[in-house]
């Protein structure tokens, strides 16, 4: 019994019990904050707003987590007799020195915070940086990661973020040439293409201001009919594929020919 009492006395000291309680409370508070802020900021918002807000939520969650961890560490050190007031003062001086030595890092941190808070970038946006186009896959305090359409990843220091062009801030405007055989009646082709565009609008594949424009050019073997498609920037490649698929299906259904290159071979004696 004496042994158990001694063990219990050790466990119940503020160094052991207090440390354990501080760690538990810290992680509980972080968990509650993370879940609470997501519910508050996302509830009732559109998909576009949710994507924007998730980026800001991650920033707040990260800041709150590190602040709580630092406070918890100071409380635990105080349990062990460390003069935390002197430590905080020393950290303040050290922070000034590091700030001067790491100016670029500080600029990256400030720029990263501002670009998220000002809603300039969000994870999932399509951006262009020095002729490199891709999707933002990660926003950090120091760097931003962009994944190209071929799979390569570019890492950009946040202090250079002002040179990034964000294409997701506006709607995509696509012009699609639809090659059609010369022998097809113009009136019939225009009616079919107009129907395809209107049906895609009705199905919410494209936006309402999309429209068939008319004959655009004459090629050696085809008449090019032009349609103008408006959609969300992030969906432009998917929408283009869907519209071309629908046009082909409509042409097949209405027996409209899509021209293609043909090679005619002659034997010498038959020419």
Q: What integer pLDDT is reported at residue 245 of this predicted model?
A: 94
Indicate if 158 and 235 belong to the same structural domain.
no
Local confidence band at 20 (pLDDT 50, 70, 90 cut-offs): confident
* Mean pLDDT value of segment 34-63: 70
Q: What integer pLDDT is reported at residue 101 of this predicted model?
A: 47
Residue 97, pLDDT > 60, answer no
Quote the percentage of the chain above a pLDDT of 90: 23
Query: What is the C-alpha separation between 225 and 205, in angstroms, rounded?
Result: 20
Q: What is the DSSP string of 46-71?
A: -HHHHHHHHHHHHHHHHHHHHHHHHH
Quote the percentage of the chain above a pLDDT of 70: 68
Domain boundary (48, 68, 101) is at 101
Domain with residue 225: its CATH number is 3.30.70.100
Residue 271, in any domain of the structure? no
Q: What integer pLDDT is reported at residue 199 of this predicted model?
A: 93
Local confidence band at 214 (pLDDT 50, 70, 90 cut-offs): very high
Q: What integer pLDDT is reported at residue 193 of this predicted model?
A: 94
- Alpha-carbon dihedral of residues 41, 42, 46, 48, nearest 10 degrees? 80
Which of 109 and 133 is assigned the larger pLDDT?
Answer: 133
Q: How many structural domains comprise the chain?
A: 3
Domain with residue 131: its CATH number is 2.30.30.60
Q: What integer pLDDT is reported at residue 104 of this predicted model?
A: 59
pTM, two decimals, is 0.47
Indicate if 89 and 135 belong to the same structural domain.
no
Helix, strand or coil for residue 73? Answer: helix
Segments forming the whole domain that contains residue 32: 2-101
Residue 241, pLDDT > 60, answer yes
Indicate if 160 and 150 belong to the same structural domain.
yes
Indicate if 162 and 150 belong to the same structural domain.
yes
Q: Is the Cβ–Cβ distance between 26 and 66 less than 8 Å?
A: no
Residue 200, pLDDT > 80, answer yes
Question: Each residue of 76-115: b (16+ CB within 10 Å) or e?
Answer: bebeeeeeeeeeeeeeeeeeeeeeeeeeebeebbebbeeb
Residue 42, in any domain of the structure? yes
Indicate if 26 and 82 belong to the same structural domain.
yes
Which of 77 and 224 is assigned the larger pLDDT?
Answer: 224
């Amino acid at each position: 019994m004496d042994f158990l009492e001694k063990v219990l006395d050790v466990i119940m000291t503020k160094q052991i019990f207090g440390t354990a309680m501080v760690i538990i409370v810290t992680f509980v508070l972080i968990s509650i904050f993370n879940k609470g802020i997501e519910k508050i900021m996302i509830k009732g918002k559109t998909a576009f707003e949710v994507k924007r807000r998730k980026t800001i939520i991650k920033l707040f969650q990260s800041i709150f987590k590190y602040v709580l961890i630092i406070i918890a560490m100071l409380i635990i050190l105080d349990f062990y007799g460390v003069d935390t007031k002197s430590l905080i003062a020393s950290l303040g001086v050290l922070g000034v020195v590091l700030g001067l030595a790491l100016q670029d890092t500080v600029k990256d941190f400030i720029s990263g915070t501002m670009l998220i808070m000002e809603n300039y970038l969000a994870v999932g946006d399509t951006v262009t940086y020095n002729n490199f186009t891709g999707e933002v896959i990660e926003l950090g305090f120091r760097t931003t990661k962009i994944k190209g359409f071929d799979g390569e990843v570019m890492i950009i220091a946040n202090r250079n973020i002002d040179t990034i062009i964000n294409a997701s801030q506006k709607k995509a405007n696509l012009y699609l040439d639809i090659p059609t055989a010369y022998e097809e009646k113009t009136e019939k082709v225009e009616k079919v293409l107009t129907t395809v565009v209107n049906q895609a609008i009705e199905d919410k594949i494209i936006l309402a201001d999309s429209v068939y424009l008319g004959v655009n050019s004459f090629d050696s073997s085809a008449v090019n009919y032009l349609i103008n498609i408006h959609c969300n920037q992030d969906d432009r490649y998917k929408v283009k594929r869907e519209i071309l698929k629908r046009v082909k299906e409509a042409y097949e259904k209405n027996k409209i020919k899509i021209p293609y290159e043909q090679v005619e071979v002659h034997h010498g004696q038959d020419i």
